Structure 1
């Protein structure tokens, strides 16, 4: 009986030890990286590449959790942007933050797989996917992998943001009116997120005055904290000097 109790006790201790190690591993990040949720939990997150609601149509390699991971300085500056926006009943919404290097290669492989589907054309209505790399929409090495680049938008907290993606519905492409395209629970920027089209360029002339005003408002709010917009994507911003080496660690779940 003593031997049996000793074996059970040893097994229990080993199980607890494994659980502790696994839990610690589940939220371990390289030095300098943080979960944005730990810096500012009020910033809304909708990490699209951890889901199937993106231009590839499935979760990308390395996205083990739908969490925004950034360099600490980036997180602190986002917090400052959010504090200013909150007084205007607005919020940031994050679509992508740190991106594992393997996810960028996953995008490149997708662009070269020789298939053009209706789902692809929701995001690339006029540009063949094989051209996305040459035109600068996809890169084998992304600034996102440094932890200093972001994809984001604005949310009007007074508006009805309850519309959700319905997998059974056929949506129009990303340049269509907001009520016809994939819902994003955010202000109408003139195109959906990840829209590889001239209309997605930040200074596009083909959008209406309200949409143009929202883009300018987002760019101005981010610029106050040093973020720079990428002219071909109204949603993409980076913080010069905060990046450095590119990383390829997978995004682990955050422990509450």
Structure 2
């Protein structure tokens, strides 16, 4: 009888150990990196490169989960920004955080694949995608891979943010009025996220006073915590000194 039960017990033990190792592996991050949700769960996350709702039209290499991963110092400073904005019924919304280096190489391959779809052109209506790297809109070596760069916007928590991306629907390009372009559930910053157009430049003169005010609010809030905006992208910020080497570990699900 004991002999008959032993293999089953051994098998169950092995399965439990394997499950524990798998869960631990899903949580493992290099030193200094954290899941933003563990630092400040109230920050909204819409990690677009983990979905098909981005300029490539599919999840990028290395994005195994829609989780914002950052250096711990970056996360703590984002928490401070969030607390300040929450007092005004606003929230940060993350579009991208740490980016595996392989994802940037995936972008390079995409730019060189020799064709552009109508959906892709929504993000770069006036610039051929082969020119995006030369013009500084995309980098083959991104600060995102250091864990110290971020793409984000603001959400008015009192507004109707129920609009969702519908892949079967045809949207206007990213420079169109907010009612016509792809919904992002955020305030109107004048263009959509990842809009490679001069209108997406932070200080673009062609946006409305209200749109300019929202951009200035975001830049000022981030600056109070030491973040610096990239002039060609109103959504992109980095924290000087917090980066260092680039990493290529994949983004895996956070264990609850």
User: Hey, what does 1:116 align to over in structure 2?
Assistant: 116
Following TM superposition, the consecutive aligned residue runs of length 4 or more in structure 1 with deviations greater than 3 angstroms are none
TM-score, reference length from structure 1: 0.99
Cα distance between partner residues in 1 of 2:87 and 2:14: 51
Deviation sequence 1:118-162 (CA, Å, 0-9, x none): 011000000000000100111110000000000000000000000
User: Hey, what does 1:29 align to over in structure 2?
Assistant: 29
Gaps of 5+ in 1: none
Gaps of 5+ in 2: none
User: Hey, what does 1:226 align to over in structure 2?
Assistant: 226
> How many Å apart are 1:2 and its aligned residue?
2.2
User: Hey, what does 1:68 align to over in structure 2?
Assistant: 68
Question: Any idea what SS the aligned residue of 1:229 has?
Answer: strand
User: Hey, what does 1:146 align to over in structure 2?
Assistant: 146
Task: Count the aligned residue pairs.
Answer: 256
User: Hey, what does 2:14 align to over in structure 1?
Assistant: 14
TM-score, reference length from structure 2: 0.99
Correspondence 1:55 to 2:55: yes
Question: Any idea what SS the aligned residue of 1:70 has?
Answer: strand
Cα distance between partner residues in 1 of 2:80 and 2:47: 21
User: After superposition, where does 1:144-183 map in structure 2 within 5 Å?
Assistant: 144-183=144-183
RMSD of aligned residue pairs (Cα, Å)? 0.5
Correspondence 1:5 to 2:18: no
Cα distance between partner residues in 2 of 1:255 and 1:122: 35
Question: Any idea what SS the aligned residue of 2:122 has?
Answer: helix
User: Hey, what does 2:215 align to over in structure 1?
Assistant: 215
User: Hey, what does 2:131 align to over in structure 1?
Assistant: 131
User: Hey, what does 2:46 align to over in structure 1?
Assistant: 46
Correspondence 1:193 to 2:168: no
> How many Å apart are 1:220 and its aligned residue?
0.3
Cα distance between partner residues in 2 of 1:85 and 1:62: 31
